[in-house]
Amino acid sequence: MHTLRLPLKTNKNTEGLFEKRFQLIARIHNQTVKHAKKLLTQLDKSKEYRTLRKEYGELKVKADAGDELAAIQKALVADKMNAFRDSLGLSKNAFDKYVAKMQHKYKKHINSHQAQVRSGTCMGRGREGTVWRRKRRPLQENHRI
């Protein structure tokens, strides 16, 4: 993949504005990652979810061995796990609502579209994005987006 970088002609006033916007977007990103980590901790500590995860692992082994009944049961357990994650707020919709609340604080500098795009980027490619990668580091304050 190739990236084309074109210089942006700015003056002193717009440079400060861009810098402030980048910092605010980085702050929203870091707060969203922190929120996601807290939700993942709650998910890991939940006894019900751990039980479902263990059951899913056992059924996966049986289903891979060719057991059709285990494959059907595995799908049902997966649906229960997804419903449990959604009830905690680990969904794209829930993160969009969380980011919308944060964006409202900075509405003078960042519009809702920019915040939602950042939320989508934070979530990664669908549900399997940042939330599921445990070792995600926060953005640096001087990070360029």
List pLDDT tens digits, range 49-99.
999 999 999 999 998 988 889 889 999 999 999 899 889 888 888 888 888
- CA pair distance 116, 110, nearest whole angstrom: 10
Tokens of 40: 């993942």
- CA pair distance 79, 60, nearest whole angstrom: 14
Tokens of 87: 């009830």
Is the pLDDT score of 142 beyond 50? no
Is the pLDDT score of 45 beyond 80? yes
Q: Provide the pLDDT confidence category of residue 26 given band limits of 50, 70 and 90.
A: confident
* 37-41, 42-46, 104-108, 136-140, range with the lowest pLDDT: 136-140
Is the pLDDT score of 123 beyond 90? no
Q: Provide the pLDDT confidence category of residue 122 given band limits of 50, 70 and 90.
A: low
The larger pLDDT score, comparing residue 76 to residue 1, is at 76
Averaged pLDDT for residues 99-118: 79
What is each CA distance from 20 to 25, 49, 142, in whole angstroms? Answer: 9, 41, 10
Q: What percent of the chain has pLDDT over 70?
A: 80
* Average pLDDT of the chain to the nearest whole number: 79
Tokens of 136: 């995600």
Tokens of 22: 């980048």
Strand, coil or helix: what is 110?
coil
